[in-house]
Amino acid sequence: MKYLFLLLTTSVTIAVTWYISSIPLWGVTQADISDSYRTIVTPASYVFSIWSIIYLSWIVLSIYIFIYRPTIALDHILYLGNTQMLSALWLVPWHLDMIHLSLMVMILIFVQLLYLSLQDHWNTLFQNTVYLFSSWISVALIANTHVFLVAYEAYWQSLILGITSLVWLVALSYYYHQSRQTIIPISVACWTLLWILMLQNDHYIVFTCIAGLMFCLSIIVFYFLPEETGK
What does the pLDDT look like over 69-79, one tens digit per residue?
998 999 999 99
pLDDT-derived band at 220, boundaries 50, 70, 90: very high
pLDDT-derived band at 227, boundaries 50, 70, 90: low
Q: Is the pLDDT of residue 196 over 50?
A: yes
| Pair 108, 36: CB distance under 8 Å | no
pLDDT in tens, 49-103: 999 999 999 999 999 999 999 989 999 999 999 999 999 999 999 988 999 999 9
Q: Where are the domains of the chain?
A: 2-224
How far CA 109 is from CA of 41, 81, 112, 120, 191, in Å, comes to 20, 11, 5, 19, 21
- Report which listed range, 12-21, 107-116, 121-130, is most confident: 107-116
Dist. CA 125–CA 136, nearest whole Å: 17
Q: Is 44 helix (H, G, I), strand (E, B) or coil?
A: coil
Residue 226: DSSP 8-state: P
Instruction: Give this prediction's pTM.
Output: 0.93
pLDDT in tens, 9-43: 999 999 999 988 888 777 777 777 888 888 998 88
How far CA 164 is from CA of 41, 168, 170, 220, in Å, comes to 11, 6, 10, 23
